[in-house]
Structure 1
């Protein structure tokens, strides 16, 4: 499919709706980790996302290596790292912000492998957003988990790598790609939870599962994974990466607000400052055309 250069109104609504789902997903992860370890929660998520749907959706048309790469990076690595980051102490609100570093990784990888080079304006916007990530890193000693931050950054890198494999896979439907990707990730995470958690911990967790944990799993699997990643895959295949990826910077807005409402997470001054820079970078990216046009007009007037 040839990428479009203008985002249609219905696709704009779809990408915004997806960002809301993903922003709220960090709250679901938080509650899911109250009952399960990061590896067990990931394994359950992959199993329910893949089965029984894999028997009804055709395997994406692509070499097996691309499907394996998509499943390993987008699901096994990204969520293994993300769940571990939150489990190790990075708050859901901050996690939703830090993982947006994938914007920079995605643009860089797209330029490297697909010659999908971002414009100067998008690069500047990304650098503005990166200031916000720097503020988070600078506040590691004020209640922020360094280990959680590192794992979440690794999750962002994994997400970006998965985006590149997604572009190489020709799936009849984005949902089919998501389902098969989860199937690829499942055995990796099953091995991880068996080795690290052990059968006794797994069995005990399953015996004492709570209603909030079950609700969290339902949200993570059927809303965030099936609906969210299905829509995301379709958008990436329809538009240039540099046009779609910056929208993910809206996720931390939803993440921070939902964390404050449901978890009572404090919105300290440095968290607000970090969010400001991330959102400023997003605005710079999305208003690229208007900014470029205005700059040209001002330049012409100055030269007259």
Structure 2
């Protein structure tokens, strides 16, 4: 990888890691469902000016957007609004890799290899350790559970993405941008239903610079710029070389949350974090080691 592209990769990891801190800031002035709707409305309205419409039937836009854009962030934003620290959220959400393995096995009938089973067991033990700490001031059980639900929704979106690709369509950043027209509808419906018109009006009438900056970051920097650059790297290098870079996201997330939000993590949570990251590393690099050992 060239030095320029390495800097791009590090930039992506940085903005995606800080993304969780920005969500926490955004939630200070905007309730979760309204924040999600405004985010994807901004993604769609701005991103559609720069990315061409994907040649994919609309039904697949909906099938992709509902789990990965609406459900994932409805759960994640709600989790962080109800007691999930930004740093731990950046880690627990990576459980999507494990859910993707399980859903691919159950839905697509893909085989699970031995090292992947080991990765699931190790990472799951870490998640159990983190879950066991829910009675501390650092995290609530509801927040943790909603974050895992978000990870599961992300995994379902990955399965849908794979199904789209298996049908011969090019499921790239164009799909992410244009399918963003879909989630504002359920987000705004849920906002009216769950948050109420009074809270919506109050949030919009008191819309300050922090709310605007958070929305702009989530939509323009984290989504349009982040996924646009990620798609660029995937077009130049093998996916196996690019995908492991996402392991740096929870590291940045935990670090930035500690510095910018003054979040603290208990000893049990650090132990769980280490096990989850170990499981993710085994899942990412286990195939390489198993192939070398068989030579």
Bucket of the pairwise TM-score, normalised by the shorter protein = 0.7 to 0.9
CA contact (8 A) 1:129 1:280 kept: yes
Matched, 1:192 2:220: no
Please name the residue that 1:209 is paired with: 207
Q: Within 2, Cα distance between the matches of 1:290 and 1:163? A: 22
Q: Within 2, Cα distance between the matches of 1:59 and 1:253? A: 34
3-state SS in 2 of match to 1:51? helix
Q: Is there any run of 5+ residues in structure 2 with no aligned partner, and where?
A: none
CA contact (8 A) 2:122 2:278 kept: yes
Q: Within 1, Cα distance between the matches of 2:123 and 2:9? A: 20
Count of matched residue positions in the alignment of Structure 1 and Structure 2: 290
Please name the residue that 1:4 is paired with: none
Per-residue CA deviations over 1:183-218 (Å, capped at 9, x if unaligned) read 011111111112222333212111212322222111
CA contact (8 A) 1:59 1:171 kept: no
Cα 1:231–1:111, aligned 2, differ >3 Å: closer, same or farther?
farther
CA contact (8 A) 2:133 2:269 kept: no
Q: Which moved more, 1:174-183 or 1:238-247?
A: 238-247
**1:132-143, aligned counterparts within 5 Å?**
132-143=126-137
Q: Within 1, Cα distance between the matches of 2:129 and 2:77? A: 22
Please name the residue that 2:58 is paired with: 64
TM-fit CA distance, 1:245: 5.9
- Name the TM-score, length of structure 1 as normaliser: 0.83
Cα 1:20–1:130, aligned 2, differ >3 Å: closer, same or farther?
farther
Please name the residue that 1:5 is paired with: none
Q: Within 2, Cα distance between the matches of 1:69 and 1:91? A: 30
TM-fit CA distance, 1:34: 0.2
Q: Within 1, Cα distance between the matches of 2:86 and 2:282? A: 25
TM-fit CA distance, 1:83: 0.1
Matched, 1:151 2:146: yes
Q: Is there any run of 5+ residues in structure 1 with no aligned partner, and where?
A: 1-7, 298-304
Cα 1:55–1:215, aligned 2, differ >3 Å: closer, same or farther?
closer
Q: Within 2, Cα distance between the matches of 1:186 and 1:125? A: 35
Q: Which moved more, 1:234-243 or 1:278-287?
A: 234-243
Per-residue CA deviations over 1:4-57 (Å, capped at 9, x if unaligned) read xxxx67887766543332211100000000000001111110110111443664
- Name the TM-score, length of structure 2 as normaliser: 0.85
Please name the residue that 2:218 is paired with: 220
Q: Within 2, Cα distance between the matches of 1:16 and 1:121? A: 28
- Provide the alpha-carbon RMSD of the alignment: 3.0
